[in-house]
């Protein structure tokens, strides 16, 4: 299916309206998985022409995505990954876990961005980062698209490695997301150390329901993220 390639339009707008010179694109993967971390990539690309075929990672075949990720790692000016573990997701909730992972990725960059383009509608980052959210930014913004592809390929690789010791779960194929094989393995073997134990899937597993962690947080009621509305973008 044809798609419009991403552009530097948002990056150019941020440069013109805020004076930002170093702009990072940020995207996450693993938000809806039952197992594994949530992974965030921050990528800085400048205004150079991107590799051919760059787009949202979900629109690419696994083979092409892997090839493109290898190319992007050398092409981007800088990139870094941040993760929040299943335990952190259970303890903090997804919103706060995303903030933690994204902060780790941004802090790991060799240079500090002046502004961040965040894929999606909601700013889960907040202060001290200057954030512009862009719906479907992983399709429309070069830096976010690059972050999307790198994050997806790296997390998929992590899940395949975790699956070596848990062959019944087929993590190499489902990368921690729901699938018939994953569901059947949970019913038979119960959750692994890599599963999120506050997730609702455990409610449907009578043998393992006792392992479910009670949430001490309510999604959407985590402490306010300071500065969400503090920048005139």
167-207 pLDDT, tens digit per residue, is 999 999 999 999 999 999 999 999 999 999 999 999 999 99
pLDDT band at 228 (very low <50, low <70, confident <90, very high): very low
Burial of residue 128 (number of CB atoms within 10 Å: 0-12, 13-18, 19+): exposed
Over residues 99-106, the mean pLDDT reads 97
The length of the chain in residues reads 233
Residue 127 CA, chain-centre distance (Å), reads 19
Which spans in the chain are helix H? 9-18, 62-75, 86-92, 94-108, 137-140, 142-162, 171-174, 180-189
Which are the contacts of 70, defined by CB distance < 8 A and separation ≥ 6? Answer: none
Question: Are 139 and 181 members of one domain?
Answer: no
**pLDDT tens, 120-141?**
999 999 989 999 999 998 889 9
State whether 87 and 174 are in the same domain.
no
Domain of residue 204 covers 165-211
Does residue 139 share a domain with residue 40? yes
Please give the pLDDT value at position 100: 96
User: Does the annotation place 27 within a ligand binding site?
Assistant: yes
Helix, strand, or coil (residue 151): helix
Same domain, 140 and 197: no
54: pLDDT strictly greater than 50:
yes
Q: Annotation-wise, does 28 bind a ligand?
A: yes
**Which backbone phi and psi does 32 adopt, to 5 degrees?**
-95, 10
144 part of a folded domain: yes
DSSP 8-state symbol, 206: T
* Band (89; pLDDT cuts 50, 70, 90): very high
pLDDT bucket at 219, cuts 50 / 70 / 90: low
- Per-residue pLDDT for 216 more than 80? no
Same domain, 103 and 43: yes
DSSP 166: -
Quick one: 36 and 129 in the same domain? Answer: yes
Rg (CA), the chain: 18
Residue 229 lies in a domain: no
Number of domains in the chain: 2
Residues 29 and 123 in one domain: yes
How much is the pTM? 0.89
219 marked among binding-site residues: no
Per the prediction, the chain carries an average pLDDT of 89
Q: Residue 2's pLDDT is what?
A: 58
Please work out, in degrees rounded to the nearest 5, the angle formed at the alpha carbon of residue 184 by the alpha carbons of 178 and 188. 130
pLDDT, position 218? 60
Same domain, 139 and 50: yes
Q: Has residue 232 been placed in a domain? A: no
């Amino acid at each position: 299916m044809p798609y419009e390639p991403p552009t530097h339009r948002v990056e150019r707008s941020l440069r013109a309206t805020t004076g930002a010179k170093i702009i990072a694109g940020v995207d996450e993967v693993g938000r809806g998985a039952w197992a594994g971390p949530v992974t965030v990539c921050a990528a800085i690309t400048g205004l150079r022409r991107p590799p051919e075929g760059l787009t949202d990672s979900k629109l690419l075949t696994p083979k092409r995505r892997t090839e493109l990720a290898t190319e992007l790692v050398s092409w981007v000016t800088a990139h870094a990954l941040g993760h929040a573990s299943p335990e952190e997701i259970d303890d903090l909730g997804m919103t706060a876990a995303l903030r933690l992972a994204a902060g780790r990725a941004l802090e790991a960059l060799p240079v500090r961005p002046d502004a961040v383009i965040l894929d999606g509608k909601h700013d889960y980052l907040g202060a001290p980062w200057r954030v512009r959210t862009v719906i479907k930014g992983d399709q429309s913004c070069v830096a976010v698209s690059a972050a999307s592809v790198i994050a997806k390929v790296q997390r998929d690789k992590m899940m395949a490695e975790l699956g070596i010791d848990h062959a019944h779960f087929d993590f190499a194929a489902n990368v921690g997301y729901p699938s018939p094989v994953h569901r059947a393995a949970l019913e038979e073997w119960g959750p692994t150390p890599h599963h999120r134990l506050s997730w609702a899937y455990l409610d449907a597993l009578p043998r393992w329901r006792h392992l479910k962690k009670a949430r001490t947080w309510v999604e959407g009621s985590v402490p306010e993220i300071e500065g969400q509305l503090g920048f005139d973008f």
